[in-house]
Copies of this chain bind each other. A is one copy, B any other.
Amino acid sequence: MDQAEDRLRLATALAEARAGLAEGGVPIGAALYDADGALLGRGRNRRVQDGDPSLHAETAAFRAAGRRRTYHGTTMVTTLSPCWYCSGLVRQFGISRVVIGEAATFRGGHEWLAEHSVEVVVLDDPGCTALMRDFVITHPDLWNEDIGAIDE
């Protein structure tokens, strides 16, 4: 998979993240693609919008893709390094690749995934990093709630 294609897919995930921010939500977006590059599902963190802590961006995209017999060959594209919850999703369902916008503001389980045969690509996208960095600064309580972090 060439990086131009991955960057195009990241734009879809980033559009989800920005839509989430506009709704007052946690600005993380994701999209799941099959081996042929077809979009299976896209989504964004819905903690604020739906009052639902179980819908992180990756789980929202996974949910939107519906029931599937296999995830072999699929790629999960996400604006931010996936937390343990979303990394566990990727490992359990055998999602083959993870493309990550940035891992500078938060490091989840992507190195663990790479150790377990998942192809991991970190794009170091400045747009993703700026979006998340601003959010963490302006909404520390909401961000800590979303990752289960204990306040200082």
Closest to A109 in B: B88
Contact with A91, one of B63, B84, B94 (Cβ below 8 angstroms): B84
Q: How far is the CA of A53 from the CA of B62 in the complex (A)?
A: 8
Question: In the complex, which residues of chain B have a beta carbon less than 8 angstroms from the beta carbon of A72?
Answer: 150
Contact B70 A150 (CB under 8 A): yes
Residue A59, interface by CB 8 Å: yes
Q: How large is the interface on A (under 10, 10 to 19, 20 to 34, 35 or more residues)?
A: 20 to 34
A111 to chain B, nearest CB (A): 14
Which positions 39-71 of chain A face chain B at CB distance < 8 Å? Answer: 47, 51-55, 59-60, 62-63, 65-71
Contact A63 B70 (CB under 8 A): no
Contact with A62, one of B54, B87, B150 (Cβ below 8 angstroms): B54
Which positions 79-134 of chain A face chain B at CB distance < 8 Å? Answer: 83-89, 91-94, 109
Residue A23, interface by CB 8 Å: no
Closest to A48 in B: B67
Q: How far is the CA of A65 from the CA of B70 in the complex (A)?
A: 30
Contact with A150, one of B68, B88, B89, B94 (Cβ below 8 angstroms): B94
Contact with A54, one of B59, B83, B87 (Cβ below 8 angstroms): B59
Closest to A141 in B: B69
What are the 3 closest A-B residue pairs judged by CB atoms, nearest first? Answer: A88-B88, A93-B148, A54-B63
Please report A residues at the B interface, Cβ cutoff 8 Å. Answer: 47, 51-55, 59-60, 62-63, 65-72, 83-89, 91-94, 109, 145, 147-148, 150
